[in-house]
A and B are shown apart, each in its own frame.
Chain A
């Protein structure tokens, strides 16, 4: 189903949406870190906590860029995505108790690409030049994030196809 984001009519809306994307990502990565903690996958706990911290820094950066605009309050007012999750919220359905850092980074990559597409769409469709210019700036930032995840993925190559094999599987199937 198509994901519909908040309406971007003003520069304030744009900053609020950008802030919300990062803030939602923080909440989601923290949730995934907690899930991995419950299932004692410590390596993944660290990866998800690091991703949450990185997204938190991005959110703070947007708040700084917005200057006098109260992005936190406006992000509450503009509402969220009508369908599904906001662009950088990792898909909870793809989590697995034996997943590896490579899988976590693939989740992050997909999120960054969705955010990139969200801002590219605004650049294409916005009529206000200020919104267009700022959205183009966000496109650049998201492109940097995509590159960063690609760099991180070089540290964590794809696991063997047997990564999900559990010698003590949950069911006798």
Chain B
């Protein structure tokens, strides 16, 4: 688990940078930013102990809006950067932020293996079911009948199911949140950060510009009807049969997180360096 200093007394505003967000008015990502800062304050984490890593897309702008260490990286590669950072600096709390395009399409393969490796970090995907930054193309989570000039007649392709894939790939904590519930999202993010291993939090975050229909989400969400389980089979059944709007912590596993010692025990680093030089 990350080192969490509960002695600190921080306010959400302490984690906000002076950079003003340029998301569209009404975008769910404003709420996600609020939830980030509220979760950090709740945990009393000093900003310099947190690293927010992202890829490319609207949601990936988030590191600039926080006062923590940040890295606005390469499209789809945020998890690779985050994993590298966490294994070399295990003392940092690493939060990786992404969107459904960046995280599930370009970064889809990293997603599978990050879940499998179970490195102690938190992966937050702001899912709006569209590529917003590039003006409204369908993403891996877009419904098959999303009929626009850019996808006439819809894609006809079944959407990707991130929570099921995360569970099957070995994520140790799985939750779904809604951006319009910033306090509950902050509580869940705090739980995800505290939980050892790879925590995956999907936040339904409406894109009001290219998916105005998503404004309706606030009327569709509801709390998960049963308590969190640590049984993957039970979690799989629940996630597979829910309507996609169940909000809450859906799975808490107890797999041992990967730590750098696994691969480096008994290895003499000086000897490795000599081998490289030869």
Contact = CB atoms under 8 A, between A and B. Distances in A.
Interface residue range, chain B: 20 to 34
A84 B24 contact: no
A55 B209 CA distance: 29
State the main secondary structure of chain B at its contact with A.
Answer: loop
A36 interface: yes
Contacts of B180: 84, 91, 93
Interface in A85-134: 85, 91-97, 99
B210 A171 contact: yes
A35 interface: yes
Nearest to A169: B209
A26 B57 CA distance: 30
A84 B247 CA distance: 13
B17 interface: no
Contact of B26 (A34, A94, A171): A94
A96 B24 CA distance: 8
B274 interface: no
A25 to B, nearest CB: 14
A93 B222 contact: no
A56 interface: no
A67 interface: no
A160 interface: no
Contact of B25 (A76, A84, A85, A95): A95
27 contacts: A1-B181, A31-B30, A32-B25, A34-B21, A35-B21, A35-B25, A35-B30, A36-B25, A76-B11, A81-B183, A83-B183, A85-B183, A91-B180, A92-B30, A93-B28, A93-B31, A93-B180, A93-B206, A93-B218, A95-B25, A95-B26, A96-B25, A96-B26, A171-B148, A171-B149, A173-B136, A173-B148
Interface of B: 11, 20-26, 28, 30-31, 135-136, 148-150, 180-184, 206, 208-210, 215, 218, 221-223
10 tightest A-B CB contacts, nearest first: A95-B25, A171-B136, A95-B26, A35-B25, A173-B148, A172-B149, A173-B149, A171-B135, A170-B209, A97-B25
Interface of A: 1, 31-32, 34-39, 76, 80-85, 91-97, 99, 170-173
